[in-house]
Amino acid sequence: MGKPTGFMDYERKNKKEISPLKRINNFNDFHIPFDLETQKEQASRCMNCGIPFCQSAMKVNNRNVGCPLSNLIPEWNHLIYLGLYEEAYKRLEKTAPFPEFTGNVCPALCEACCSCSINGDAVGIKANELFLIEKAFENGWIKPKLDIVRNGKKVAVIGSGPAGLSCAKKLNYAGFKVTVYEKNDRFGGLLMYGIPNMKIEKNVIERRINLLKEEGIEFVNNTKVGKDISMEELSNNYDEIVFACGTSLPRGLALPNNNANGILYAVDFLTETTKNLLDKKPFTYDLKDKNVIIIGGGDTANDCCGTAARQRAKSIMELEITKEPPLENTLPWPNYPNKKKTDYGVLEANELMGHDIRLYETTIDELVVEDNNLKGVYIKNVCFTVENGKGVFKDVEGSRKYLDCDYLIIAMGFLGTTDEDLLSYGLENKSNRVKLEGFKYNDKISVCGDMKNGQSLVVIALKDGIDCAQSIINKYE
């Protein structure tokens, strides 16, 4: 596959970007697509592996590597190189339900175990995927599937995030009449409100939702199960019910005054900011000229950094409890790389602040609150050690320090589904998870995505939704 010597003839190129201090003037996508010749050259770097690990979903040292969807990556890379774009898209759509989602937000697990990365830079698989799906929409190769033969069975899918949408799409194509219920005013779940506009523009999601509607899926918004519609009503009206509600219980700070004004969970902050932008309203949480501290070092914390930069915070700081990663990767292929990464949001905040905003091996020691309003925090350094066979963080003596803080944004991940939500769904609660056998809760109810597996990646949620749908299809065959 690909040009036989492409990986030797061409170096990897990443898409050019609008400079950080320019792009923070808006919330738009800031990537500049390749011209066609460059896109073909980049695709030609795919090196005809005997075993293409990129498309082999697996875990190495408990980390996901390879494409969870098992996308036929070498095949469509070769077709891009040949200029056969429609044929390339047809290979992509065989396995990828929504390439425009993963092409924008996936961390590219496929690239982590690309054979080119053993001694160099991986093929730019993610950029090639996004190129193909946008080319397909641009040229009208994507048309609604209208020749679906119905089987007389009805399914309610609760939640319109990645898992819910992929599950609904597969069930719909298999002949089930699918209705998707969403508690929010807009569809897309995490994609719509949990991930900022500059990472995936919302018209991309709306375009896909409209296509799914044309194909016969019914979407119902502003509807909370257990409140606006009862489980009894759902059970009476549908043959199958699928819960794909994500994880809604964020990990909090176990400190006094942790409910003071100015202390926000990242998902609430990002959700409100996106809603404000789409509704053309002032920011609910206005960070302009405020001192902002973000706790966490993952993708969500990075999104908060980029959002704070766009709102022109007075100061932005990110606290990471872990040790600073090395500049060079320390793990052998095909492990997911272990090296310091400066993603778009941190890069923007660094440029705006004039220094690296990250403090490693640092956490909050005390919240300073007056009249229930956050005024500042005391931070401290910690070090990781093992005692009695168990890993613990120990305080570094003399490291305590005060910082002014108007907004403290907590981006430390999620613990599962809230007790309140599980109670309203009538599902048995086991440590904020649902007790399942595979995808099944009982003969009628299934659960998929982050609600089943815990916090994970969009691409893994997509795969889980597909597999959940297949388990229901198998039941009726």
Predicted confidence at residue 124, as pLDDT, reads 97
How many Å apart are CA 309 and CA 195, to the nearest integer? 16
How many Å apart are CA 286 and CA 275, to the nearest integer? 13
Strand partners, 437: 440
Of 408, 243, 227, nearest to 315 (Cα)?
Answer: 408
Say if residues 75 and 96 touch (Cβ distance below 8 Å). no
b/e code 211-229 from CB counts within 10 Å (16+ = b): bbeebbbebeeebebbeeb
Predicted confidence at residue 2, as pLDDT, reads 53
How many Å apart are CA 361 and CA 350, to the nearest integer? 19
Q: Which residues contact 132 (CB under 8 A, 6 or more apart)?
A: 76, 80, 85, 88, 89, 92, 99
> How many angstroms separate the Cα of 433 from the Cα of each of 72, 139, 231, 280, 451?
33, 44, 18, 37, 7
How many Å apart are CA 343 and CA 303, to the nearest integer? 9
DSSP assignment of 257-287 equals: TTTSBTEEEHHHHHHHHHHHHHHT---SS--
How many Å apart are CA 451 and CA 243, to the nearest integer? 8
Say if residues 463 and 70 touch (Cβ distance below 8 Å). no
How many other CB atoms are found less than 10 A from the CB of residue 99?
A: 24
Token representation of residue 174: 């298999």
pTM of this prediction exceeds 0.85: yes
List per-residue pLDDT tens for the chain, 477 residues long. Answer: 457 789 999 999 999 999 999 999 999 999 999 999 999 999 999 988 888 999 988 888 988 899 999 999 999 999 999 999 999 999 999 999 999 999 999 999 999 999 999 989 999 999 999 999 999 999 999 999 999 999 999 999 999 999 999 999 999 999 999 999 999 999 999 999 999 999 999 999 999 999 999 999 999 999 999 999 999 999 999 999 999 999 989 999 999 999 999 999 999 999 999 999 999 999 999 999 999 999 999 999 999 999 999 999 999 999 999 999 999 999 999 998 999 999 999 999 999 999 999 999 999 999 999 999 999 999 999 999 888 888 899 999 999 999 999 999 999 999 999 999 999 999 998 889 899 999 999 999 999 999 999 999 999 999 999 999 999 999 998
Token representation of residue 424: 């309203």
β-bridge pairing 31-32 and 16-17 = antiparallel
Predicted confidence at residue 390, as pLDDT, reads 87
Say if residues 343 and 325 touch (Cβ distance below 8 Å). no
How many Å apart are CA 471 and CA 400, to the nearest integer? 53
Backbone angles phi, psi at 398, to 5 degrees: 80, 10
Predicted confidence at residue 4, as pLDDT, reads 78
